[in-house]
Structure formats: C-alpha cells, structure tokens
Amino acid sequence: MAEELIIPKTTDRTEVYSALLPQISALIETESDLTANLANVSAALKEAFSFFWVGFYIVKEGQLVLGPFQGPIACTRIPFHKGVCGASYSRKETITVPDVEAFPGHIACSSASKSEIVLPVFHRNGTVAMVLDVDSDELDNFSELDAKFLKSIISLIERKL
Ligand code: SME
C-alpha cells in the first residue's frame, strides 16, 4: 500500500467515503498494531474531509482516555457519563450533535468545535472498546451518511480487535 491517499476532488461525501474505504482497508489490513492503525484512520479522515478534529478515546482505567488523533490538543480523560463521548459510550450508540452548545454536558475542548459525531467501536463480546470522535468547526456538519460510512470504517477496526 502506497503511503499516499487518493482523494477525489469533490465535495460529494459519498464519493470521498467510497474512495476512502478500500484505501483504509488496505492501509490497516497488513498492520497488527492497533495504535498504528488508529493513527492512520484518524489521519485519513482528517486529510479527506479537513474535519477540525478526528480521534479515538479508548476505554482504559474506568474512563475514556485520549488515543491517536489528528487536530488540536484535546482533553485527555473523559468520564463514562460525560460529554458526547461519554453518552456514546454509555448508550452504545452513534450520537450526532448538530450544535454542541445545545448538548447538555458537552465537553468543550475547543470553542472552535461546533458540531460532532461520536460512534462506539465494539469488542467481539459487545463491550465498547473505544469511541471515534469527529468534530467540525461548522454547525450541523454530520448526517446519516457520515454515520453509515464511519460505521463501515469502524467495522474494519473491529475486525482487528
Ligand atoms: N467532544 C467531546 C470532547 C472531546 S473533544 O471535542 C476532542 C465530548 O463532548 O465528548
């Protein structure tokens, strides 16, 4: 796998995700190290969409601990019941927040973050291993389409857990 992403020059997210998926699959399939794979998935998503922040919070020591990410520095530890990440972990659900200021308990790592989507990543036994947090500096920047494609990307990671 060449260490270069080929990203179509379009704002059509379906097209970009569709081009990205097989490349992410190829990028992580031959690598067994989880940190390396999470780092490359974060980088690929950031590069493809220029999202404000993309990264993983990993279940560790009874909380969510910052893992590989791309973007500005962020909070390192999130309690299971706090913020959008905590809600996604506790509910075991994808949570899309069109306006973070309207989400009770949102953790403002940066005031530039306006909307976000957080998805749980599951172990084979159904427990949550980590969450994928994608933040945008635009309001209402995530839809069902992002949820669908990000879930496909997550399933590539889940196969390797
Ligand atoms: N958005 C998160 C906090 C993490 S940072 O935005 C990177 C939340 O409220 O869960």
Q: Residue 144 is part of a domain; what is its CATH number?
A: 3.30.450.40
CB 92 within 8 A of CB 128: yes
CB 112 within 8 A of CB 52: yes
Query: Residue 7 domain-assigned?
Result: no
pLDDT attached to residue 3: 76
pLDDT attached to residue 110: 84
CA of residue 2 to ligand 1 center, whole Å: 32
Picking from 45, 32, 25, 55, the residue whose alpha carbon sits closest to that of residue 155 is: 25
pLDDT attached to residue 2: 59
- pLDDT tier, 145 (very low <50, low <70, confident <90, very high otherwise): very high
Query: Residue 1 domain-assigned?
Result: no
Q: If you search the block for the tokens 């889940």, which residue do you land on?
A: 158
Query: Residue 6 domain-assigned?
Result: no
Query: Residue 81 domain-assigned?
Result: yes
Query: Residue 111 domain-assigned?
Result: yes
Residues with CB under 6 A from ligand 1: 53, 74-75, 78, 83-85, 106-107, 109, 113, 116, 133, 135
- Interacting residues of 36 by C-beta distance below 8 A, sequence separation 6+: none
CB 97 within 8 A of CB 103: yes
| Domain total in the chain | 1
Tokens for 14?
């379906």
pLDDT attached to residue 67: 98
Range of the domain at 151: 13-158
> Tens digits of per-residue pLDDT, 70-122?
999 999 999 999 999 999 999 999 999 999 999 988 888 888 999 999 999 99
Tokens for 77?
């530890």
CA–CA separation, 26 and 130 (whole Å): 22
Query: Residue 4 domain-assigned?
Result: no
CA of residue 30 to ligand 1 center, whole Å: 30
Query: Residue 5 domain-assigned?
Result: no
The 10 Å Cβ neighbour count of residue 102 is 9
> Tens digits of per-residue pLDDT, 24-74?
999 999 999 999 999 999 999 999 999 999 999 999 999 999 999 999 999
CA–CA separation, 97 and 141 (whole Å): 9
pLDDT attached to residue 53: 97
Tokens for 108?
């403002």
Query: Residue 3 domain-assigned?
Result: no
